[in-house]
Amino acid sequence: MDNLKRLKKQSIRATDIASQYWCERQMELNYLYGKETTAEQKKGSDVHKEMEEKTNVPVVLMTKSYADFMYKILYTSVLALETLLKNKRSREIQVYGMIDGFPVVGKMDMLELRDGEIFIWEDKTKANDNLPTEPQLLTHKIQVMLYRKLLDDIRSGKYPREQFRKIYGTATLIVTPEFARQLDALGIEKKMQSVDALVDTYFDGMTSLAAISETLHIRYINQFTGKEIKVYRFQYDRQSIESSLEFVLKYWKGERESLPVPETEKWKCNYCVFFGNRCKVWWAQKQLNL
Ligand code: SF4
């Protein structure tokens, strides 16, 4: 059995792949035993929400079913694409794709339209003004390079709408009457109230985007002061992302077990909620060093 089925997931998230570069075992344990959101992560997601509200049209839709949920995600992304064309920047755009037979999904923090090109930005919050460590930067670079690959695959038609429809079964999805009433209130005409109709609008918007720049951005922000700590600009490296994906997919295909951190990175265990309980790979060694 592959690990997507074992973890009862429909698709791999871009953040899962990035997390595999921090600690793959921790990423797996988070799915098996539930992820605890720390106060720091909660503050980080509040900062993202505030930034989204400043650039995007707010979407207030209460969902009751999977169809409602899919509609809301696509609708929010369609509005964000319109905002991008109008205001030259937009936040929180969902991107989908397929890698070696596995559905992959992610949400890009920000797209910017400048000099006829689309630039991808990823925002990361930190609890202090310290620069990110190399391992942190690596996981974030993998995430942004993956977004570029997924976005380019949609734009170039390598990942077509028919494949998306098949994977997510959108042809048979019908939104609930309560959700349809909310769409009526927003003035959305009946023929645009089906998930399948929105798939076309979403793919039309994505495939007509300008060329995607090979220059990628990661911006670190202090979550308490809102101050920009540093912006890293780097070039997309096709070969590097392809070999990274080949490595991570071996886990998802079930060809190998999840890997704990190597000995040189066992310091990461000190920040892990599973250390000494669900994961004891480096626990005995820590006890000896006390
Ligand atoms: S304790 Fe260490 S090796 Fe185990 S899951 Fe956590 S970070 Fe990974």
Residue closest via CA to ligand 1's atom 3 equals 260
Residue from 272, 280, 283, 285 whose mutation best tests the ligand 1 pocket (most atoms within 8 A of CB): 272
Average pLDDT of the residues in 240-250 = 95
CA of 252 to the centre of ligand 1 (A): 18
Residue closest via CA to ligand 1's atom 2 equals 269
Give 168's pLDDT tier (boundaries 50, 70, 90).
Answer: very high
pLDDT value, residue 223: 87
Ligand 1 atom nearest the C-alpha of 279 is 4
pLDDT value, residue 59: 73
**pLDDT per residue as tens digits for the range 185-238:** 999 999 999 999 999 999 999 999 999 999 999 999 998 888 999 999 999 999
The finding on whether 27 has its CB within 6 A of some atom of ligand 1 is no
Angstrom distance (rounded) from CA 275 to CA 272: 6
CA of 12 to the centre of ligand 1 (A): 20
Angstrom distance (rounded) from CA 172 to CA 228: 45
Share of the chain residues as helix, strand and coil, in percent rounded to the nearest 5: 50, 20, 30
Say yes or no to pLDDT of 75 above 90.
yes
Q: What one-letter code names the amino acid at 193?
A: Q
pLDDT value, residue 40: 64
The finding on whether 23 has its CB within 6 A of some atom of ligand 1 is yes
Average pLDDT of the residues in 174-179 = 96
CA of 26 to the centre of ligand 1 (A): 5
Angstrom distance (rounded) from CA 98 to CA 12: 9
**Residues 203/164, Cβ–Cβ less than 8 Å:** yes
User: Residue 58 — φ and ψ, nearest 5°?
Assistant: -65, 140
Q: What one-letter code names the amino acid at 119?
A: F
Domain boundaries, the chain: 3-259
Quote the percentage of the chain above a pLDDT of 90. Answer: 83
CA of 39 to the centre of ligand 1 (A): 20
pLDDT value, residue 260: 97
Angstrom distance (rounded) from CA 203 to CA 93: 12
Say yes or no to pLDDT of 80 above 60.
yes
Angstrom distance (rounded) from CA 8 to CA 247: 21
Residue from 36, 264, 274 whose mutation best tests the ligand 1 pocket (most atoms within 8 A of CB): 274
Residue from 32, 136, 271, 279 whose mutation best tests the ligand 1 pocket (most atoms within 8 A of CB): 279
Say yes or no to pLDDT of 2 above 80.
yes
The finding on whether 183 has its CB within 6 A of some atom of ligand 1 is no
Least confident of 38-42, 121-125, 130-134: 38-42
Ligand 1 atom nearest the C-alpha of 268 is 7
Indicate the burial class of 279 (C-beta count within 10 angstroms; 0-12, 13-18, 19 or more): buried
Indicate the burial class of 247 (C-beta count within 10 angstroms; 0-12, 13-18, 19 or more): middle
State which CATH number among 3.40.50, 1.10.540, 1.25.10, 3.90.320 fits the domain covering 3-259: 3.90.320
Residue from 27, 280, 281, 282 whose mutation best tests the ligand 1 pocket (most atoms within 8 A of CB): 281
pLDDT value, residue 14: 96
**pLDDT per residue as tens digits for the range 86-97:** 999 999 899 999
**pLDDT per residue as tens digits for the range 146-163:** 999 999 999 999 999 999
pLDDT value, residue 1: 83
Helix (H) or strand (E) holding 207: helix 195-207
